[in-house]
Amino acid sequence: MLIMVSKGGFRVKLFGGPAPILVHSKEFILAALLRRNIKFPYACQNGVCGTCKCQLVAGEVVLDSYSESALTAYEYEQGLILACRARVLSDVIIGKLELDSDSAHRAGD
């Protein structure tokens, strides 16, 4: 169940990236980043592939349903999230993970 704490939105900052963007509380982080033409790795946009996996550096999010093959319970405990399934509950800072050259990168190709 998703608990809404704000009717507006929160700021999402990409660690080492451009200025924070406003993300509406019903919007997924990945969708907001892509809407603002901010490069971010993704593929399925449905919580299945794991390409958008990133580090939650600060703040709180809630994740909609996703495949455990995309994000394991251990990874979640380590602070990793899926940007395509994450909705913000506070201002958030996220960090991209280092990806190998075979990983999918659709944004900004």
Residues at the site binding ligand FES, with contacts judged by CB under 6 A: 42-45, 47-52, 70, 82, 84
For residue 29, the minimal CB distance to ligand FES (Å) is 10
Q: Length of the chain, please?
A: 109
C-beta of 47: minimal distance to ligand FES in Å?
Answer: 5
> Which lies closer to ligand FES via its Cβ, residue 10 or residue 42?
42
**Distance, CA of 1 to chain centre:** 18
Distance in Å, CB of 78 to ligand FES, minimum: 17
Using CA atoms, how far residue 86 sits from 55, 66, 93, 100, in Å, is 12, 10, 12, 23
Q: Which of residues 5 and 106 has its CB atom nearest to ligand FES in the complex?
A: 106
Cβ 7 to ligand FES shortest distance, Å:
26
CB nearer to ligand FES: pick between 44 and 89: 44
Helix (H) or strand (E) holding 29: helix 29-35
Nearer of residues 13 and 47 to ligand FES, judged by Cβ: 47
